[in-house]
Structure 1
Amino acid sequence: MSVAPDALIEQASFTLRGRNPDVLTCIANLSNDEVFTPPEFANRMLDTLAAAWAESHDGANLWADSSVRFLDPCTKSGVFLREITRRLTEGLAGEMPDLATRVNHILTRQVFGIGITQLTSLLARRSVYCSKHADGPHSIAKGFSSEAGNIWFERLEHTWDKGKCEYCNANQATYDRGEGMETHAYAFIHTDNITTRIAELFGENMQFDVIIGNPPYQLKSDGGSRDIPIYHHFVEQAKKLEPRYLAMIIPSRWMAGGLGLSEFRETMLSDTRIRNLVDYPNAADVFPSVGINGGICYFLWEAAHSGPCDFSNVRSGDVYGPTSRALNEFDVLVRDTRALNILRKVLAHNETSINTILARDKEFGWTSNFDGFHKKEREGDLPLYYIRTMKRSVGYIARTEVTKSEHLIDTWKLLVPKVGSGRERERSGVDLVLGPSQIAPSPSVCTQSFLFFYVSSSEEVESLQSYYKTRFFRFLVSLRKITQDATHSTYKWVPMQAWDRKWTDEMLYAKYDISDDEQAFIESLIRPMGEADE
């Protein structure tokens, strides 16, 4: 069946004019882990890519180059490939005036994808080829001899070793499924040699100039109680293919935390090939229908770039940046460039960190669900502080039952919850950052529900608590706290003070020479902690 020229033009334009809305703006996300990219956001990334290409190629138009190859290694809706094809269709009109010839060249020689599931591969082919069968009668590509075309998918199995996948760390009990269910063993990351894998999929000597996509973020493991990040594997594999450009959307947790992401964070912060990095602390600014704690970001990596990164921060549509900066100034990435001067002023004092008097996780050895205590006090007992079903309580336990960190029993403690505030700032921009503190007199112990600072007297712990309540204290914590979890390292940049007074923000602003504008910035992010919060 032949396709009329007007129909081909309408299909090949990929603009979906007259169809309101674009179907790719309407489809529901698969989950919070496999998120469809809105077309507008995909085009924002492609604009960034095109600008970088032009700057590095004497003003050349990326979309007018018929030799450039693009790969989306984790395609879901096909939006990146669709929008790339639309741009190339317009940009190559001068070189290839015949529309059918131009479209066929683009789809058979320039755009490639790897589906993450059977369903998404069909959706991607429908978006790109206008047919779920690349070689079908309704496909606008006429050079394919297979249904898949250049958008590959085959079901793969995990490689199990002692109950875990050796490539993605998926839990065998959860993902060792029957043939009728998706395994989520993604082809791009389940291989020891990605170059060989690509040759198997698309042919020998397949070199991609641009790799772009929005990879799956994580896998639920251990029955869903623990999420295992996997997006960094896609980034690492893409770099091994040595493209000229790499652009991906990934969660922002890597910047300061994330399970098993320490090495990835160090690599990213020290990689001078990252040309652009755009951070969205509230993921809802990009993905309104899903919750991604810690926000999302996208980056553009250029093989030929070596130098500082143009970093931007976007909050509720307000863009701060781009600012040219080295990403590896600190061991974590300070997400708001406006905070850097304040942090540098504080660290210039070279004071001891307050985390030197902060207990470690499970300091007394008891997890949050520990129940080996009694409700009524007996002679010689110690009070034991714990949280159960979101409620703070006190039980009692014999001193002889404490077998770890006995030297901290007789200290005065400022108990602080391990899980603090976080989502409030994502929504409104203003947050408490930390949950309410609680003084535990000497002697006392606690479960893993709390971390605690320890000092020698009631006067000192009251001074410490006043410091904890200041916006200054919580602002410094916020620079390292990317999710709701407040760990020991979260407090690293908070300096120790003398515990001989009630601290106020005014005292601290004066001590560290915080300017009026910097004070206003802190107070725009951190709300006061009053008695009601304690």
Structure 2
Amino acid sequence: MSLNPDLFTSVYKPDVLSCLADLSNDEVFTPPDVANRMLDMLPQELFRDPETKFLDPACKSGVFLREIAKRLIAGLADKIPNLQERCDWIFKNQLYGIAITELTSLLSRRSVYCSKYPNSPFSITQFDNVQGNIIFHKIKHTWQNKKCIYCGTAENGDLNDIAREGMESHAYEFIHTLHPEDIFKMKFDVIISNPPYQLNDGGNGKSAKPIYQLFVEQAKKLNPRYLTMIIPSRWFTGGKGLDDFRKTMLHDKRIRKLVDYENFKDVFPGVDLAGGACYFLWDRDNTGSCEVTNMTDTVQGRMIRDLDEYDVFIRQNKALSVVRKVLSWNKHNRVLSDVVSARKPFGLPTNYEPKDNGVPCYFIQRIGKKYADPKDIDDSKGYLSKWKLLAPKAPIAGQTDFSKPVGFYYDGNTRIAAPGECCTESFIILGAFDSEDEVLAYRTYIYTKTVRFLLLQTVVSKDVTKKNFCFIPDLGHYQGVYNDQMLCKKWNIAEDEWEMIDARISAVGGE
């Protein structure tokens, strides 16, 4: 069989994998241009070394292995002049993949070998088996206490929520073992992937837990020279199943590059996920600060930073100087995360049924203010006798692109609850005070763009909790009216920094 030398070295338009990446799907396909940007972060001499071994532990379309093959075919031309011999060597000795489903295994082999079956006469190189080096094995979940001990999905969960092709169980082979090194029984120089993002965990409604962090952690166990993955950016602030992962990532000095997209659609056209996406380069043998790149439609900002400067990662490089100034001013280290209530401030869940009489209670907007049974109210924090500023727990529901102006609190979604009034879990308490004048003054402080900008630095999804207020100073006693001019002067915020704040936060009246 004679090979067309342009087959893997030319980029055809339209590219079928580019078309796949435009489709909306929970198992998000990686566009070829994004795969190549990730490959560009690696030392390019890797693609001129016939001993370099690459692994994609979560193959979907095979795009990573295909693009690596193109680079190796070009890079090894001097070392292995014969094209067929070169391809045979590359595909049999350098490229390895683990597919996430049987269907994606066929798609990946078709992309990489030009045939679903690499032992067929149509394959660009001949293997003696039907899988080649892109494998798929049906793995079973291992149940304990009705949860999988590896991925956490529920034993009795709706398989339709976690299956995408027939009756796939989505027990991904790479993360369903304590010994990933036994899968191929070899060392890898580079692990690169776009892992699955979440699985049903058996919680209320359509509850799901993130699993992409499991792929990152498992890849590190293999101790490759380089690791790069593209994952949702929600880990920046932690959350469900991600708190330990966030701490580990922020303290890991081997993460040398981090590229962050606030708009998920800038990476995956046709797919919408709040908080954006990022990819990183983990360099086993080189530690130090990280080059952080912010990507928007028109701006690419780079800065060398320590990811663990704060417990919460500040994704915007330009915002870092503002946070530093505010925290430097706040020498007493009193912040609103110590003031704002936890979720369910009165112990009443979102689905609490209104009563005909009792304690006045604020429910979700369509219900309004009704009543709660006094026996159902938990007032262990002493909120009931106070003047309270209530705010929705999901104030930015519906907005997923945080590169556009973001709004949080305004007259349309906050409530001032008088003494003797409570609320369900639909609200959190931003502050509780002895007088109406103080809660009104506090509300003007919360409404300023500067305060809401500080809040934005910790937010990557629609939900806001008390931990998101960790950069906002607690002024202690509130009186009068607060405005941005006053706060910029107090915190020494420069004109160009204010312009950034003004552009990123929606005006109260315009929300």
Query: 1:315-374, CA deviations, whole angstroms, 9 ceiling, x for partnerless residues?
Result: 1242111x1110001111100011111111111122411233322211211101111522
- 1:213 maps to what in 2? 193
Secondary structure at the aligned position of 2:111 is classed as: helix
Structure 2 CA distance for partners of 1:183 and 1:148, relative to 1, 3 Å: same
- 1:503 maps to what in 2? 482
Q: Residue type of the partner of 1:184?
A: H
2:34 pairs, out of 38, 41, 66, with 41
CA distance in 2, matches of 1:433, 1:198: 49
CA drift at 1:85? 0.4
CA drift at 1:220? 2.5
* Pairing 1:529–2:508 present: yes
Query: 1:369-402, CA deviations, whole angstroms, 9 ceiling, x for partnerless residues?
Result: 111522xx5xxx4311111xx4251112354553
Which is further off, 433-442 or 283-292? 433-442
Structure 2 CA distance for partners of 1:158 and 1:176, relative to 1, 3 Å: farther
**What percent identity do the matched residue pairs reach?**
43
CA drift at 1:255? 0.4
* Pairing 1:161–2:147 present: no
Unaligned runs of 5+ in 1: 55-60, 200-205
Query: 1:15-58, CA deviations, whole angstroms, 9 ceiling, x for partnerless residues?
Result: 354xx311111126786431100001111111111xxx25xxxx
Unaligned runs of 5+ in 2: none
Secondary structure at the aligned position of 2:41 is classed as: helix
The answer on whether the counterparts of 2:346 and 2:379 sit within 8 Å (CA) in structure 1 is yes
The answer on whether the counterparts of 2:23 and 2:269 sit within 8 Å (CA) in structure 1 is no
Structure 2 CA distance for partners of 1:446 and 1:139, relative to 1, 3 Å: same
Structure 2 CA distance for partners of 1:482 and 1:176, relative to 1, 3 Å: closer
CA drift at 1:222? 2.5
- 1:459 maps to what in 2? 437
* Pairing 1:339–2:310 present: no
- 1:196 maps to what in 2? 182
- 1:58 maps to what in 2? none
The answer on whether the counterparts of 1:455 and 1:461 sit within 8 Å (CA) in structure 2 is yes
CA distance in 1, matches of 2:293, 2:93: 34
Task: Map 1:380-529; keep pairs closer than 5 Å.
Answer: 381-387=358-364, 390-391=365-366, 393-397=368-372, 399=374, 401-405=376-380, 407-421=382-396, 424=399, 426=401, 429-434=404-409, 436-452=413-429, 453-497=431-475, 498-529=477-508
CA drift at 1:81? 0.3
Query: 1:248-302, CA deviations, whole angstroms, 9 ceiling, x for partnerless residues?
Result: 0000000013311110000000000001000001100011111111110000000
The answer on whether the counterparts of 1:238 and 1:246 sit within 8 Å (CA) in structure 2 is yes
Task: Map 1:245-260; keep pairs closer than 5 Å.
Answer: 245-260=226-241
1:295 pairs, out of 276, 294, 304, with 276
Query: 1:153-172, CA deviations, whole angstroms, 9 ceiling, x for partnerless residues?
Result: 01111111121111000111
CA drift at 1:433? 3.3
Task: Map 1:89-128; keep pairs closer than 5 Å.
Answer: 89-128=73-112
1:64 pairs, out of 31, 44, 48, with 48
Q: Residue type of the partner of 1:468?
A: I
- 1:57 maps to what in 2? none
2:115 pairs, out of 118, 124, 131, with 131
Q: Greater relative contact order (Cα 8 A, min sep 6): structure 1 or 2?
A: 2
The answer on whether the counterparts of 2:101 and 2:168 sit within 8 Å (CA) in structure 1 is yes
- 1:11 maps to what in 2? 7
The answer on whether the counterparts of 2:21 and 2:268 sit within 8 Å (CA) in structure 1 is no
Secondary structure at the aligned position of 1:123 is classed as: helix
- 1:371 maps to what in 2? 353
CA drift at 1:145? 0.8
The answer on whether the counterparts of 2:21 and 2:269 sit within 8 Å (CA) in structure 1 is no
Structure 2 CA distance for partners of 1:401 and 1:141, relative to 1, 3 Å: closer
CA distance in 1, matches of 2:124, 2:375: 78
CA drift at 1:9? 2.0
* Pairing 1:280–2:280 present: no
CA distance in 2, matches of 1:269, 1:454: 34
Q: Residue type of the partner of 2:102?
A: Q
What TM-score do the two structures reach when normalised by structure 1?
Answer: 0.90
